[in-house]
Amino acid sequence: MSSTACADTLPCSGHSAQCGPIFVDNYKVFASTERLVIRRFRAQDAEAFAAYRSDPLVARFQSWEAPVPVVEAARQVARFGAGSPSVPGWFQYAIELRSAGALVGDVGVQLHDNLMQAEIGFTLAPAHQGKGYATEAVRAVLDLLFGAGILRVSAECDARNSASARLLDRLGFRREGYRVEHTWIKGEWTDDVLFGLLARDWR
């Protein structure tokens, strides 16, 4: 499944902290794939966002608590929509399913202060899992990141989160480490698996 980066992402010609990736932010769509649109969040996404983030199974290995009230979702979606993918910190890309014209998930990217590395996370609404959409969306976002000059993308997941680990394996992430009882989440210590992918290993 190929993705097409839109004209709002300009590759950087160099790899220095001064230069960094340049994302031109004037358009709401960042990338299109066969089945998905990767776009900026908008106010109308609040209900769908609240619905999938409120599912206890979706929240199980994540930092937020379910349920997520629509009012809180509206606040978060407004913040995501106003964010910028080109400055250090988290930016959330909305995943829209073309056939439904609706939000089905999100891909979060934390751009490092050095503008050369990033961390990635992803969430898909349960009704749309098991169809390859998350892999397709993350692949498109990785295309954007590596195309913009990012040199390394990291990810980590709870060791019990096998769907997440399979996705990262599929995309070619290297398993780089295992941290025993590293994260306190939802009342227990959990093990983390660490993943990494270098630009030179990205096809």
Ligand X SMILES: CC(C)(COP(=O)(O)OP(=O)(O)OC[C@H]1O[C@@H](n2cnc3c(N)ncnc32)[C@H](O)[C@@H]1OP(=O)(O)O)[C@@H](O)C(=O)NCCC(=O)NCCS
- Contacts to ligand X by CB under 6 A: 58, 61-62, 121-124, 129-135, 157, 161, 163-164, 166-167
CB of 82 to ligand X, least distance (A): 24
Q: Which residue is nearest to ligand X (CB)?
A: 132
Distance between CA 51 and CA 46 in Å, rounded? 9
Our CB check for ligand X shows the closer of 17 and 100 to be 100
3-state DSSP assignment of residue 101: coil
| Smaller CB separation from ligand X, 115 or 144 | 144
User: In this complex, which beta carbon is closest to ligand X, that of residue 9 or of residue 123?
Assistant: 123
d(CA 40, CA 144): 14
What SS3 state is found at 186? coil
Q: How far is the CB of 67 from ligand X (least distance, A)?
A: 15
Q: Which amino acid is at 199?
A: A
C-alpha dist (Å) from residue 14 to 87, 143, 146: 17, 17, 12
For the CB of residue 31, give the shortest distance to ligand X in the complex, in Å: 16
Q: How far apart are CA 15 and CA 46, in angstroms?
A: 36
Task: Report the nearest approach of ligand X to the CB of residue 169 (Å).
Answer: 9
Query: For residues 9 and 164, which CB has a smaller minimum distance to ligand X in the complex?
Result: 164
